Structure 1
Amino acid sequence: MRVADNTVYNSFISGYETTAAKMQKTMEQLSSEKKVNSASDDPVAASKIISLNTSIAQNSMYSNTISNSVSWDSAQDSALGSISDVMLNIRSLVEEAANGTNNSTDYSSIKSEVTQDIEQIASTLNTKYGNDYVFGGENTTTAPFALSKDSNGNITGLTYSGTSQNLTREISDGTTVSLFANGNEFLTANSSNSATDTSTTTANSSTLGSYFSNLISALNSGSQSSMSNLLAETDDYRNNFVNIRSSIGSLTDRLNTASSLNTSRQTDLKTDLSNVQDVDVAEAYTQFSQEKLAYQAVLALGTKIMDTNILDYVN
């Protein structure tokens, strides 16, 4: 049975286009080192790649949040460690002022050092991480603490202009943490001492600011009994700083654990993406070589078809 020239030609063209398309696709995969270069290559795989890339980007965002949160905690920890040391020095000075061997010059010298320590505490409470104040609650753009003084330069109080909220951060899908930021918690402290000398003229300090004010007043008056009464309060406020620092440390431990889990998940996601998207170069090159041979065979066949003329059909 004789086959029409048009049928032979169309068959050649179809085979040529098929082998050329296969070789072209493999060349693109080798060039990009990716199995899927467009959605039409493999719609199911393309959809999975998009989903995995979205998850990787989301997880990377969580990683940045965790890292920033750890740095936030670190800035706070350093600040509270410094304040704790300063409070310890104030306690030593208060104890010295209460020993009964000081004259007016000694009290003036102690007052000068205590004043410097209080100013350092106020300055440290205005610590910033980047451009944000870390102890101002949700108000991170304005210095939250300020000392008040009378006309003689004596410290009379400490004001707080921040908010009473901590900061919420999402560290993974459905998981949030509360970063400490509420500086208002520094202003009060639960007494850890049952005995209080009620015979003194110094009232119990209701806030950190009033404690500072009472301390300066006691040094101005040279009252030993007032100094003795303030020792317990000094311990209370220092312990409050220490306790808050401890809670921040616990949160840092949790964040470090979350960071490890985040890193592990990111590795898993990238491995899944690689399995779906990346080309096995050696396998693809072998396939390309086979497709090239098939392409060359089709071209060779095409050459013979094109060389056929009417004399080939004459008996």
Structure 2
Amino acid sequence: MRVSSNVTYNDFIKNLGTNASKVQKTLNQISSLKEVSKSSDNPLLVSKIMNLNVAIARNETFGQEIKDSQDWINTQFGALQHVNDSMNNIRRLVQHSANGTQDVDEIKANRNEIQQEILGIVESLNTNFDGRYIFGGTNTTEPPFSVVRDANDAVIGIEYNGSTTEVSREIADSVVVDLPTNGEKIVGGSEMNDFLNGLIEDMDFYINNKERLSGIDRDSLDPDDPANADTLAELDRLDGWAQGMSSKIGDLDKRKGDIAEFQTRIDTIANRLKSAGARNETEKLSLKSTLSDRQDVDVAEKYMEYQNQMLAYQTTMAMGTKIMQTSILDYVR
């Protein structure tokens, strides 16, 4: 077969272009440290890399949700610790008032301190995290608890005004956790308010009537006279007042039980979030390792590949120089 100079020249240009493209591709890989820079380089590999990047982004979103939920739970735990401290102080004051030896001024001081503790409980339960109230259910923009006051503006209880629906967080694909945010469960519905109303009302009765009723001789009152019925009832209430206050300690312990049950739910969710966080971190490391294997280049290996390609390119150039120098005179000598 006859090979013309034009055929030789075209083959040379083709081979030179092929080697130059390989060198350029390897240089791009070394400079970018990436196996591919555009989809045409390797469509299947690019598709896998894109899917991995999406998975990593979702993993980071879930990780942030888990961290945010853990911070939320920790804030709740701290707030309930303050509530427990206030409840313990109220219990101490009720127990102190129930020993039957306190005078009116001491009961009044105890009542005033209990009212301050109620204000403290409401303040703790209205704690917010990142601008969101943590015990208001899904209603996180308004304070969920308010102080109940009587006609004289005296503190007598606590009222819940939030939502009864828990806040949900997605912490993994198709995995949702409900944060314990329904504050109604902390106060047992209206039970906490009813207890505090009764407690303050009993203490007010003692403060307002102790001295007056102590000056009345029960024996001088005819029990059959309807006009004495109210007075006798008040004397009976005063006589049983200390025992009634003692019984309130048991009621108070039930209210503390509601708070303890809520704290148990918080601990359970906290453990679940801790496990989810560990899984999320493991998945993140695995995804990034897989992405690195598919996307990142081995610099040492690529440099050796570059050296070999440069050698081939330079050899092609050298041979091309000799071919291009050939003329018609070389064939007629």
> TM (normalized to structure 1)?
0.92
Q: Secondary structure at the match of 1:40?
A: helix
Indicate the residue corresponding to 1:95 in structure 2. Answer: 95
Is contact 2:118-2:158 (8 Å) kept? no
Residue 269 of structure 1 pairs with residue 253 of structure 2: no
Among 174, 191, 208, the alignment partner of 1:207 is 191
Query: In the alignment, residue 172 of structure 2 is paired with which amino acid?
Result: S
**Alignment pair present for 1:252 and 2:270:** yes
Deviations 1:214-246 (A, max 9, x none): 111121122323312211111011111111111
Is contact 1:139–1:162 with CA below 8 Å preserved after alignment? yes
Q: Contact 2:65–2:171 (CA<8 Å) still a contact in 1?
A: yes
Distance 1:42 1:304 in 2: 36
Question: 1:76-97: CA deviations, max 9, x gaps?
Answer: 1111111112101110100001
1:310 matches 2:310: no
Q: What is the letter of the counterpart of residue 220 of structure 1? A: D
Q: Give 2:44's aligned residue.
A: 44
Give SS of 1:153's match. Answer: coil
Aligned length: 299
Q: Is the 8 A contact 1:34 1:278 kept in 2?
A: yes
Whole-angstrom distance in 1 between the partners of 2:118 and 2:158: 10
- Does the CA contact (< 8 Å) of 1:154 and 1:216 recur in 2? no
RMSD (CA atoms): 1.3
Report the equivalent of 1:82: 82
- The whole-number CA distance in structure 2 between the counterparts of 1:121 and 1:91 is 14
- 1:247-295, Cα deviation, whole Å (9 max, x unpaired): 1011101110111111111111111111111101111000000000111
Residue correspondence of structure 1 range 113-132 to structure 2 within 5 A: 113-132=113-132
Letter in 2 for 1:87: M
- Tell me whether 1:216 sits opposite 2:203 in the alignment: no
Structure number with the higher helix fraction is: 2
1:151-162 map, 5 Å: 151-162=151-162
Match of 1:59 in 2: 59
Query: What SS class does the counterpart of residue 165 from structure 2 fall into?
Result: coil
Structure 2 counterpart of 1:196: none
Partner of 2:236: none
Q: Does 1:292 align with 2:310?
A: yes
Q: Following superposition of structure 1 onto structure 2, how do residues 141-152 of structure 1 map, counting pairs within 5 Å? A: 141-152=141-152
* Contact map agreement 2:134 2:140 (CA 8 A) in 1: yes
Task: Give 1:110's aligned residue.
Answer: 110
* Counterpart Cα distance in 1 of 2:152 and 2:200: 12
In 1, the alpha carbon distance for the partners of 2:106 and 2:44 equals 83
3-state DSSP of counterpart to 1:147? strand
Is 1:243 matched with 2:261?
Answer: yes
Name the amino acid aligned to 1:302. Answer: G
Letter in 1 for 2:197: S
Show the counterpart of 1:32: 32
Give the whole-Å Cα distance in 1 for the aligned partners of 2:2 and 2:331: 10
Residue ranges of structure 1 left out of the alignment (5+ in a row): 190-205
Task: Indicate conservation of the 8 Å contact 1:20/1:295, yes or no.
Answer: yes
3-state SS of 1:143 partner: coil
TM score, norm. by length of structure 2: 0.87
Q: 8 Å contact 1:156–1:210 — kept in the other structure?
A: no
- Give the equivalent residue in structure 2 for 1:172: 172
CA deviations on 1:51-70 (whole Å, 9 max, x unpaired) are 11111111111111111111
* Range with greater deviation from structure 2 (38-47 or 137-146): 38-47
Checking the alignment, whether the CA contact within 8 Å between 2:115 and 2:156 is kept in structure 1 is: no
Return structure 1 stretches of 4+ with deviation > 4 angstroms: none
